[in-house]
């Protein structure tokens, strides 16, 4: 039985003025999988996510979500269709409490019972957020803010969760915790597109990976094979 493709990028080109940031990439995200984009800083990973999310316009090519062409649709429409983005650098609302931040994630929803159930699930994933439910987001540690950013996106009950550098700037012990949680979220049924500079962590938990260099995909394959690939090991895993 062939896999159902939730998201497909077809020959996508993106420019920032004269700079050709994304050069005709093709990516498939099957339902229920974790797909990762790895690459150095400036490779085009964040631009790819921003284009899918409707924050950056594509010049040519297509973004297809659940069989519908969503290329260059406004960000709020893309979100309403079921794509949530956890942005790089967390970007929570520092002046709102943990609870208010979570409710911002659920602003499109009307199912009160479902929202309550999802809150409970999030507090199981991140018990620390339950302990800090009345605290202002800005008073949380970096790791707790990352947990909150992920949880806020999950409160929209996305069909596709996109995460931009979730391990960036975290202490090593928290990095492991974040990757474990991403795995758990996926096991609960959420499809994930993960962008990471931490190639080792990303490839260990994902099913399939794409290696992005200066806006082009130079390599792709099952994550366990990429972990063994000489080019990937030398360039991204620090193996001589």
Residue 174 is predicted with a pLDDT of 86
- Report yes or no: 221 and 231 within 8 Å, Cβ to Cβ: no
Sheet holding 34-38, edge to edge: 83-86, 160-164, 191-196, 34-38, 208-213, 216-222
User: Do residues 167 and 232 both lie within one domain?
Assistant: yes
Domain end residue (candidates: 157, 172, 198): 157
Mean pLDDT, rounded, for 221-237? 94
Closest CA to 9 of 216, 159, 189, 205: 216
Look at the chain and report how many structural domains it folds into: 2
pLDDT digits (tens, 9 = 90+) for 126-178: 999 999 999 999 999 888 999 999 999 999 999 999 999 999 888 888 899 88
Of 107, 139, 157, which marks where a domain is finished? 157
Quick one: 55 and 163 in the same domain? yes
- Whether pLDDT at 94 is above 50: yes
Q: Are residues 163 and 239 in the same domain?
A: yes
- Residue 109 placed within a domain: yes
Burial of 218 (0-12, 13-18, 19+ CB in 10 A): middle
33/118 same-domain check: no
* Strands 19-30, 34-38: pairing kind: unpaired
* Nearest CA-CA partner of 45 in 85, 4, 92, 91: 85
Shared domain check, 142 and 174: no
Give the model confidence (pLDDT) of 6-59 as tens digits. Answer: 999 999 999 999 999 999 999 999 999 999 999 988 899 999 999 999 999 999
pLDDT at 1 > cutoff 60: no
Regarding whether 198 and 181 lie in a shared domain, the answer is yes
Task: Please tell me the predicted confidence (pLDDT) of residue 2.
Answer: 66
**Band of residue 89 on the pLDDT scale cut at 50, 70, 90:** confident
User: Cα–Cα distance between 105 and 152 in angstroms, integer?
Assistant: 5
Q: Which residues form the domain of 226?
A: 1-82+159-240
Mapped onto helix, strand or coil, the DSSP state of residue 198 is coil
Q: Quick one: pLDDT at residue 240?
A: 57
pLDDT tens figures, 184-215? 999 999 999 999 989 999 999 999 999 999 99
Identify whether residues 110 and 138 lie together within a single domain: yes
Q: Are residues 76 and 1 both part of a single domain?
A: yes
Average pLDDT over residues 106-118: 89
Residue 202 backbone phi and psi in degrees, to 5: -65, -45
The pLDDT score that the predictor gives to residue 143 is 86
Q: How far apart are CA 131 and CA 11, in angstroms?
A: 46
pLDDT of 219 strictly over 50? yes
Tell which of 133, 157, 181 closes a domain: 157
Residues 74 and 166 in one domain: yes
3-state secondary structure of 133: coil
In a domain, 87, yes or no: no
CA 4/CA 189 separation, integer angstroms: 14
Please tell me whether residues 29 and 116 are part of one structural domain: no
Q: Token pair 């950056």 is at which residue?
A: 56
Residue 170 and residue 68 in one domain: yes
For residue 150, is it within any domain?
yes
């Amino acid at each position: 039985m062939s896999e159902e493709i939730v998201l497909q990028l077809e020959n996508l080109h993106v420019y920032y003025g004269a700079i050709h940031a994304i050069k005709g990439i093709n990516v498939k995200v099957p339902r229920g999988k974790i797909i990762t984009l790895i690459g150095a800083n400036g490779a085009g990973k964040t631009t790819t996510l921003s284009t899918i999310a409707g924050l950056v316009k594509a010049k040519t090519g297509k973004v297809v979500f659940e069989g519908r062409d969503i290329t260059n649709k406004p960000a709020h429409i893309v979100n309403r269709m079921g794509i949530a983005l956890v942005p790089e650098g967390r970007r929570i609302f520092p002046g709102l409490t943990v609870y208010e931040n979570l409710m911002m994630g659920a602003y499109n929803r009307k199912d009160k019972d479902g929202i309550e159930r999802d809150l409970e699930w999030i507090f199981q994933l991140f018990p620390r957020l339950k302990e800090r439910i009345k605290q202002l987001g800005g008073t949380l540690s970096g790791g707790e803010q990352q947990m909150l950013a992920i949880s806020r996106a999950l409160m929209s009950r996305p069909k596709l969760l996109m995460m931009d550098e979730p391990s960036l700037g975290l202490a090593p012990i928290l990095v492991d915790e974040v990757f474990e949680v991403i795995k758990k979220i996926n096991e609960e049924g959420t499809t994930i597109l993960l962008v990471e500079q931490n190639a080792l962590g990303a490839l260990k938990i994902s099913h399939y990976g794409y290696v992005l260099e200066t806006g082009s995909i130079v390599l792709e394959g099952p994550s366990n094979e990429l972990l063994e690939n000489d080019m990937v090991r030398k360039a991204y895993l620090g193996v001589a």
